[in-house]
Amino acid sequence: MTTDEPAAGVSTDPLVDALVRNAFQVMGVLTRVGAEHDLSLTQLRVLGLLRDRRPRMTELATFLGLDKSTMSGLIDRAERRGLLARGKSAEDRRAVDVFLTAAGLELTERLYGEVRAALLPATGRLDPEQRHRLTELIEPVLSPVTGAGEPSPKRTPARRPELAAD
């Protein structure tokens, strides 16, 4: 232990620190919950996204910030486990869209519950009033980085807070 203090000249933004720490904490929970079901963080995210969507491979990849080729492998493995399936798009015969199977949906719901439960010890430290205020304060921070409002005029009726967004 070199020093104990917050590194002297180090620029330190309390909010940034809190956000980063919180992010790692949440990711830790997600990772653990996922691991209990043999699911990686990314798989978890994919499932969350598919909860109410039926996107194409490329949409998925873009949304997750991954390469198309990465998606192939990811979907391959999940499909092999029967959690989701590939379908042919009617509009574009090149396109492949992905959707949860019944088993996948069921698992996803269970996972969501587990995540909530796992976060409870943390979120439970706030009273309902505080929880509400925190939620509202975070809202504006959630950037629409992906901005592109899905040119697809088909599905996606209203955007919803998903287990995995942005």
Name which of residues 50 to 79 contact a second copy (CB under 8 A). Answer: 51-54, 65
Stretch that binds a second copy, among 12-20, 75-83, 88-96 (CB under 8 A): 12-20
**Which CB sits closer to a second copy, 94 or 161?**
161
Site residues (CB under 8 A) for a second copy, limited to 80-99: 99
Q: Tokens 């994919």 sit at which residue?
A: 46
Q: What residues have CB less than 8 Å from 66, skipping those under 6 apart?
A: 42, 74
* Joined tokens for residue 107: 């698992």
* 86 sits near DNA (criterion: CB under 7 A): yes
3-state secondary structure of 156: coil
The Cα–Cα gap between 123 and 134 comes to 10
* 22 sits near a second copy (criterion: CB under 8 A): yes
**Which CA distances in Å does 71 have to 27, 128, 156?**
20, 39, 21
Q: Which one of a second copy, DNA, none interacts with residue 75, CB within 5 to 8 A by kind? A: DNA
Site residues (CB under 8 A) for a second copy, limited to 108-127: 109, 112-113, 115-116, 118-119, 121-123, 125-126
Does residue 148 contact residue 63 with C-beta atoms inside 8 Å?
no
* Joined tokens for residue 66: 């991954």
* 2 sits near a second copy (criterion: CB under 8 A): yes
- Residues at the site binding DNA, with contacts judged by CB under 7 A: 40-43, 56-59, 65-77, 86, 89, 92-97
